Structure 1
Amino acid sequence: MQWMAWTIPTVIFFASIAALLLVFTALAIRYPETPRHGVLGMETTRGDRLFIALLAAAFVNLAWLGLTDLSQWWGLVISLIVALPIFRWV
C-alpha cells in the first residue's frame, strides 16, 4: 500500500469494514433472517442495522473530533456503545 501512502490505522479501518461485510454475508447465508420492525417503524435486517451503526459511528467520531481534545479512542468506545442499542432495537 506504499503507493497510496496509507497509514496503518487507515488499513486497519478499511480491513475491519471489509471483515464486517464478509461476516455479515456469511451470517446471511448461514442464518437467513426475516426483516423485523424496530423503533424506527420500518423493516430492517442485520445489514441495515450495520449500515445505520456505521453511519452513527461516523457522526459520533466526527463530533468527538470537532468538539473535544480528548483521545479519539474514546469516540470509538462511544460508537461501540451506540451500536449496541442499534442492533438490539432498530
Structure 2
Amino acid sequence: MEWMNWTLPTAAFFASIGLILLGMTVFELRSPCVERRGFLPIATTRGDRLFIGLLASAYLHLLVIGVSDWSIWVASVLSLVWLLLVMRWG
C-alpha cells in the first residue's frame, strides 16, 4: 500500500482548514448566529458562507491557474480575498 506524500504546503493547507472549522465551531457555540442576507442570493448562516466561500475559492484558484500564466501565489491571494469577502458580506 502506498501512502500520500505530505509536503509542508499540503499539510499547512489542511491544518488551516481544520483550524478554521474548529474556530467556527467554538464561535458558533459562544455566539449562535441567525440567517442573514448579503450579496449572495440566499439567506445564509456563518457556516453556509464558509462552505460557499471555500468551494468558490477552490474553483477560483483552479480557474486562475488554468487560464492564466499568473503565479500560484496570485491565485492563492485572490482566493483568500474572495473567501474573506463572502464571509464578511455574503
Give the alignment's TM-score, normalised by structure 1. Answer: 0.86
2:65 aligns to what? 65
How many residues align structurally? Answer: 89
- Equivalents in 1 of 2:6, 2:66: separation in Å? 23
RMSD: 1.7
Query: Which deviations, in whole Å up to 9, do the C-alpha atoms of 1:53-74 show, x marking residues without a partner?
Result: 1011101110111112221110
- Counterpart of 1:54, as a letter, is L
Query: Which deviations, in whole Å up to 9, do the C-alpha atoms of 1:32-89 show, x marking residues without a partner?
Result: 1111123334221111101111011101110111112221110111112212331233
Structure 1: any 5+ residue segments left out of the alignment?
A: none
Structure 2: any 5+ residue segments left out of the alignment?
A: none
Percent identity reads 49
How big is the shift at 1:20?
0.4
